[in-house]
Amino acid sequence: MYYYGTRTSDFMMDHLRTFYEITGDGAWNSVLEKSYELADLMQTRYSPATGLLPDFIQEINTAPRPARPGFLEGPFDGQYGYNACRTPWRIATDYLLNGEPRALEAMERINAWFRAKAGGDPGRIFDGYTLSGVKTADYDYNALAFVAPLGVGAMVDEIHQTWLNNIWDLVVNRPLEDEDYYGNTLKMLSMIAMSGNWWNP
């Protein structure tokens, strides 16, 4: 049931590139290429207005599409939720470290939508959206798991500097006790990148 399913937050582009460089195993390059192919397909076909990626993709061997509700974790498996919220960080680091143009293109789709949706205020980002950009019902929390990775995504172009500054300020000033382990972990990882300390794995 899950063999041909995948999770977009596992598209660790910079890691995959490094795995190939260290091992010389071309399979890592194949995974890298497939990851970008799937990300582009999702953005082009299923979220052209937002660039958002789903938590899970199913049937990647035949007809890749956002996962159906209840595919693995719950009713929002095919939406931009608590898994896919990591994708801006995952994708952007490949551009920041390696200058990958596909990462830039993917991130600019996401950047444009979130900046417009939030009106430049990261405090207006909520913890879940459909791929068309509708806020997930009853998900009203301004979770750092969703905000902090967008700061890494904003680093791909200096035109996002004000947006990046606003995200940084919100992330830095959110007390640890206001978030769970997941939000605080993504806060830390994103701050490492935003402060210029993300190393090539």
pLDDT at position 200 is: 86
Q: Which residues contact 175 (CB under 8 A, 6 or more apart)?
A: none
- Tell me the C-alpha distance between 108 and 114, whole Å: 10
Q: Which two tokens stand for residue 43?
A: 């953005």
Residue 201: the pLDDT is 82
What pLDDT, on the 0 to 100 scale, is given for residue 145?
A: 98
Which is it for strands 6-7 and 65-66: parallel, antiparallel or unpaired? unpaired
Q: In what order do the strands lie in the sheet with 56-58?
A: 6-7, 56-58, 65-66
37 close to 29: Cβ distance less than 8 angstroms: no
Res 34: pLDDT: 97
Domains parsed from the chain with CATH numbers: 6-194 (1.50.10.10)
| Residue 36: C-alpha distances to residues 79, 100, 196 (Å) | 18, 10, 24
Record the pTM.
Answer: 0.96
Residue 37 confidence (pLDDT)? 98
In order along the chain (201 residues), what is the average pLDDT of each group of 10 residues?
95 96 97 98 98 98 97 96 98 97 98 97 97 92 97 98 98 96 98 95 82
